Each structure stands twice: as C-alpha cells, then as structure tokens.
Structure 1
Amino acid sequence: MKECAMASSAVSQDRVVSEMNITPLVDVMLVLLVIFMVSAPLMTREVTAQLPQTADSFAPIKPPQLRLEVADDGSYRLDGRPMSLSELGARLQESVITDPRTVLDVHATSGADYQYVVSALAEARNQGVSNLSIGR
C-alpha cells in the first residue's frame, strides 16, 4: 500500500512541477507596459524644419492684351481707337517696350480683305510682338 501511495504522490509532484506559474511574468509585462505608456509622450522631440517660401502669395500678373480690329474698308482700330498702319506700328512698339509679353488679339470682320490682316500682322512682327491671337 505504501508503494501505491508513493507512486501516486510522485505523479502528483510531477504535475505540480510541470505546470509553470506565469502570473509574475504577466505582472512584469503589465508594469513595463504602463512604464512605456507613461514615458512615450515625454520622449517626443520637436523637429524644426525650414520650409521654402512659396511665390503663390502674389497673383500672377497677366500680360497686357491689345485688341486690333480690321474693318471691311481696311481701317484699323486698336482698343477701339481708329489709327493708320504706321500709328499702329508706333503703338505696338511702345507697348512691347513697356512689356515684352504683350498679346495682340486680332479680329477681322467677315468682309475684310486678308491683305489688311496680313499687313497688320507683319507690322506687329516688325515691332517685336511675339504673342498673337487671331479671332473672328
């Protein structure tokens, strides 16, 4: 009988030894978690960065736009003022000197002779106008 009792106690001791108590391990992990949660916000560093300045604060300046109208009879009107071809050239040259990006918007009536339009375009080119817009 004694042998039977010894055998059963040996088995029960093996079970107790084979089971591991993880409660202290969980306690340590929870303490570490709390420490890291408390210390993480304190460890943030401020980073200073110099960002480039944008030029978008100013609206882009549109180039001056002149409207040239060529009539059926070959007369020219620049921004509503009638003028001859030579006066047109002088006015275009003055405008190009003021701002080289000047845009000439050419409009011809339906009955205008193309020779008048071509003469106006040639005069504009001679005076340095490089931005042209041709409409109806």
Structure 2
Amino acid sequence: MAFSAAASTGSGSGPALAEINITPLVDVMLVLLVIFMVTAPMLSRPLQLSLPQSSDQVSPLKPRQLDLAVAADGSLRLDDRPIAAAELQRQLEEAASADPDTLLRIRAAGDADYQQLVAALALARNSGLMQIGLAR
C-alpha cells in the first residue's frame, strides 16, 4: 500500500513521494499469530486433580494439649501437678498412644538449668510425641 502526496519543497523540485513500508507490521502480526496458535491449546487443557473425600465426622478443632513446666530447682510439673521423671515418661507415652496429635508445650523458668530442659525434651521425644513446643 503506497500513496503519493504532492508536497512542495522549498526548492520547487517537484512532488515528493512517500511510501509506508508494511513489511515489519506483517512480520510482527505473523509472530503474534504463531504465539497465539501455540498457547491457545494450553489454555483449554483440563487439570487432573485427586481431591480427598469428605467425611461426615466432625474433626476435633484443637488437639489435646499438655503443659510441662521445668522449675529452677529442676522439678517438673505436668499440667500444674508435680511429677517425677519416670512418671512423666509414662504419662507422655500414654498421651502419645491415645492421641498422636497431642501437643506438648514445655515452659522453663528463666533461671532453670538447661540440662534439665534438655532432659525434659529428650523424655518428650522418646515418649513418641511429635508435636513439642517451647513456651515462655
């Protein structure tokens, strides 16, 4: 597509011819056409999902929670009751076997011995509890 325009220049040399080169425009349009042809089939592909089945049972909102306190003198308290290390091991094993999602929060006094805290963590881990947290 070309057009000519009669425009006078200052020198009076005659009409100037102007052409619009549409070759780059056609090149860009063909590239866009190829891109759309390649990406269009990808947009309509179905997504394969395996969704879990719903159940009619109501799941408990909060798992069972135990609080273990390590005092500065090394004594242990489970849910605000004094407890010996051997008894603590047994109680934690029972809790882990009854409900695997039982949460144990260990709270140590600010001046408690770290060795006592590590021993309490080891007892909790050896009892089979998987959810163990430290609290302030």
TM-score range, shorter chain: 0.5 to 0.7
| Residue identity in the other structure for 2:122 | A
| Residue identity in the other structure for 2:96 | V
Counterpart residue number, 2:70: 70
Deviations 1:68-112 (A, max 9, x none): 000000000000110111111000001011101111000001010
Deviations 1:50-77 (A, max 9, x none): xxx9658836432100000000000000
Higher relative contact order (CA 8 A, sep 6+): 1
Aligned sequence identity (%)? 48
CA distance in 1, matches of 2:125, 2:57: 35
Deviations 1:11-52 (A, max 9, x none): xxxxxxxxxxxxxxxxxxxxxxxxxxxxxxxxxxxxxxxxxx
Provide structure 1 residue ranges, at least 5 long, that are not aligned to the other structure. 1-52
TM superposition score normalised by structure 2: 0.57
| Residue identity in the other structure for 1:116 | Q
Counterpart residue number, 1:95: 95
Provide structure 2 residue ranges, at least 5 long, that are not aligned to the other structure. 1-52
CA distance in 1, matches of 2:57, 2:101: 22
Counterpart residue number, 2:123: 123
Which one has a bigger Cα radius of gyration?
1
The 5 Å alignment of 1:6-45 reads none
Shift >4 Å, 4+ stretches: 53-57
Root mean square deviation, CA, Å: 1.8
- Classify the secondary structure of the residue corresponding to 1:125: helix
TM superposition score normalised by structure 1: 0.57
Which of the pair is proportionally richer in helix? 1
- Classify the secondary structure of the residue corresponding to 1:97: helix
- Classify the secondary structure of the residue corresponding to 2:61: coil
Q: Structure 1 108/59 Cα, relative in aligned 2: closer, same or farther at 3 Å?
A: same
- Classify the secondary structure of the residue corresponding to 2:73: coil
Counterpart residue number, 1:80: 80
